[in-house]
Chain A
Amino acid sequence: DAKTTQPNSMESNEEEPVHLPCNHSTISGTDYIHWYRQLPSQGPEYVIHGLTSNVNNRMASLAIAEDRKSSTLILHRATLRDAAVYYCILRDTGNQFYFGTGTSLTVIP
């Protein structure tokens, strides 16, 4: 069973904010929420992660719902280089990563 659910694809205009949603209704109290992205012909790369509180870094922000059953990755100003498949992942205390099928983000110039 998939542990996370994401839309298959989304589009955004360049230089506009993008909100990528993820549902993880079966999350346990100790699962971390991670986001990775995969650019064409590359391996995935880390974007951000969090447990309960919202998180910010130079790449993005992560907003986590109070009940932790959903989260949203926020790219503040999409660029063409942000076009990628974004994976929302749960990481358990056994350090297993459960990748979903991801959201393919298209950035329109």
Chain B
Amino acid sequence: KAGVTQTPRYLIKTRGQQVTLSCSPISGHRSVSWYQQTPGQGLQFLFEYFSETQRNKGNFPGRFSGRQFSNSRSEMNVSTLELGDSALYLCASRATQTGPIPTGELFFGEGSRLTVL
């Protein structure tokens, strides 16, 4: 089974530009979540999508947005880039399960490393 695929792996942007990152989840996984990883803040949750709907959102400004398509692929967009947005952006997919208690593990991609100059 193919893993979570993120594109592009590396990219360089300048302040003020916008960027779109893509994530293809494991086949059959309907939940996709995004994380930002920086040396100072560690891993921080951005948002989660399930069946094209945003279910959870972390504490990030509105410049960070995302969406999910009917095939479960997801994109995240960052507008008006700032230097502090330089980070590794990780996507994770999860197999959903029935019942009120979520237990499915996350499967992470290798990330998209964004550098803002």
A-B contact count (CB 8 A): 56
Could you give, for residues 61-104 of chain B, a 1 whenever the CB lies within 8 Å of some chain A CB and a 0 otherwise? 00000000000000000000000000000101000000011110
A55 to B: closest C-beta gap in Å: 12
Sort A-B residue pairs by CB-CB distance and give the 5 closest, nearest first.
A43-B108, A99-B43, A46-B105, A101-B42, A95-B102
Contact of B106 with A94 in the complex, beta carbons under 8 Å: no
CA distance A91 to B109 in the complex (A): 19
Q: Are A97 and B45 in contact (CB-based, < 8 A)?
A: yes
Tell me which of A44, A91, A93, A100 contacts B108 (CB under 8 A): A44
Residue of A nearest to B40 (CB): A101
In contact, B108 and A96 (Cβ under 8 angstroms) = no
A-B contact pairs, 26 of them (CB 8 A): A43-B92, A43-B108, A43-B109, A44-B90, A44-B92, A44-B106, A46-B106, A46-B107, A49-B103, A87-B43, A91-B102, A93-B100, A93-B102, A94-B55, A94-B56, A95-B48, A95-B55, A96-B48, A96-B56, A96-B58, A97-B33, A97-B45, A99-B42, A99-B44, A99-B45, A102-B43
Tell me if A53 is interfacial: C-beta within 8 Å of chain B: no
Tell me how many residues of B have a C-beta within 8 Å of chain A. Answer: 25
**Are A36 and B56 within 8 A (Cβ)?**
no
C-alpha gap A46/B93 in the complex (Å): 12
Closest to B44 in A: A99
Residues of A within 8 A of B107 (CB): 46
Distance in angstroms from B90 CB to nearest chain A CB is 5
Instruction: For chain A, residues 25 to 82, give those with C-beta under 8 angstroms from any C-beta of chain B.
Output: 30, 32, 34, 36, 41-46, 49
